[in-house]
Amino acid sequence: MYPESGVTTVAESAVSISNYSVPDEDLPAFTDLEFEHINELHLDHPGANDPEYRKRRDYIASLAKNFRETGVITDVEYTPREQRVWRYVAEELEELQQKYASPFYLRAKRDLGITTDRIPQLTEMNRRLKELTGFRLAPIEGLVETRGFLSWLSYRTMLCTQYIRHHSQPAYTPEPDIVHEAIGHIPMFTNPNFADFSQFIGHGARIANDRQLEELGRLYWFTVEFGLVEHEGGIKAYGAGLLSSFGEIEHAFSDKVERRPFLLEEVINHEYTYSDMQPVLYVVPSYAELKEVTRKYIESF
Ligand SMILES: [Fe+2]
């Protein structure tokens, strides 16, 4: 999942960032989530002209809506065709990831039971995340505006789509789908430092003014989506946009990309183009370092 830009929202006045773990009873009610028009399928989506796909996507989206009313996540009974899309993409990515992905990520994927065989359910990943870092996944039916999306991270909760991309173009999706969420994002939430870092971004989003919110969007982009990390003298990928895309992950390690050391001031001011391959990426020394730098930054708000 990634936030949608260009929507104006309102900051809260102050938020404490002292308490990392969030018990269930401290979560805001999911019924309070008011997201309008987030389930629109854009005309450039490969499934836009496939009525059967649209119906299926709408049905899976309706389960997310149902979750907000009941608080209960419904497992999706994925069809054989959906499972085939998953197997194809997951197997191709697995090969690339063996070469390029952060070893922590590769272990985490195994720990969470995310395999190439079948689409994992949010409920099963939630059970394991709860034990490891107290992070949670909550179903959502589409792109959410930046503040709304990032704010949920302050409750150690990530909003996740459950539907899968169209079978005609398994390597491509213009919107988040279960491949992007489960193969891209979810494994990293098993890392305590990464989970805390994500939560700090969430805290920041709740109190940020508009300029700070834009900066947070860039920080999120160059870390959670497109981040690289040092590993034993080399560089590995941990960003979801890299880990869930055949093209992006190879591009990230090609000579077409400048891989710079992570400097917060530079990252939060670096304007990026959403649709193009990234010409510049940033390498963090470690997830612990990323967490500490982000904590100081948010505390300066
Ligand atoms: Fe994402």
What separation in Å is there between the alpha carbon of 81 and the centre of ligand 1?
24
Residue 2 CA to ligand 1 center (angstroms) comes to: 4
What is the distance between the alpha carbons of residues 221 and 270, in angstroms, rounded to a whole number?
10
The pLDDT averaged over each successive group of 10 residues in the chain (301 residues) is 61 61 76 64 85 94 90 96 98 97 96 96 96 94 88 94 95 92 98 96 94 97 98 97 95 97 98 87 97 95 91
Q: What spacing in Å lies between the alpha carbon of 137 and ligand 1's midpoint?
A: 13
pLDDT at 4: 62
176 Cα–ligand 1 center, Å: 6
What pLDDT sits at residue 178? 98
CATH number assigned to the domain covering 24-299? 1.10.800.10
**Distance from residue 220's CA to the centre of ligand 1 (Å):** 9
CA of 224 to the centre of ligand 1 (A): 7
How far is ligand 1, taken at its centre, from the CA of residue 23, in Å?
A: 25
Q: What angle do CA 232, 276, 161 make, to 5 degrees?
A: 80
What 3-state DSSP class applies to 116? coil
- Which is catalytic among the residues 151, 185, 203, 248? 185
203 as an active site residue: the answer is: no
Could you identify the residue written with the tokens 């959403």?
274
Catalytic entry in 180, 203, 215, 248: 180
Whole-number pLDDT of residue 199: 96
- The residue annotated as part of the active site, out of 175, 225, 245, 248, is 225
Q: How far is the CA of 1 from the centre of ligand 1 (A)?
A: 4
User: For position 19, what pLDDT does the model report?
Assistant: 52
Q: Is 180 a catalytic site residue?
A: yes
Q: Is 275 a catalytic residue?
A: no
Q: What are phi and psi of 234, to 5 degrees?
A: -115, -170
Of the residues 154, 244, 245, 248, which is catalytic? 244
> What integer pLDDT is reported at residue 300 of this predicted model?
93
Helix boundaries (H) for the chain: 51-70, 80-100, 103-111, 122-132, 146-153, 178-179, 192-207, 210-220, 240-243, 246-252, 264-268, 287-299
Residue 157: DSSP 8-state: E
Q: In angstroms, rounded to a whole number, what is the distance separating the alpha carbons of residues 252 and 298?
A: 28
In the sheet with 228-231, reading across from the earlier edge strand, the strands are: 234-237, 228-231, 280-284, 258-261
pLDDT of the residue at 33 = 64
On whether the pTM is more than 0.85, the answer is: yes
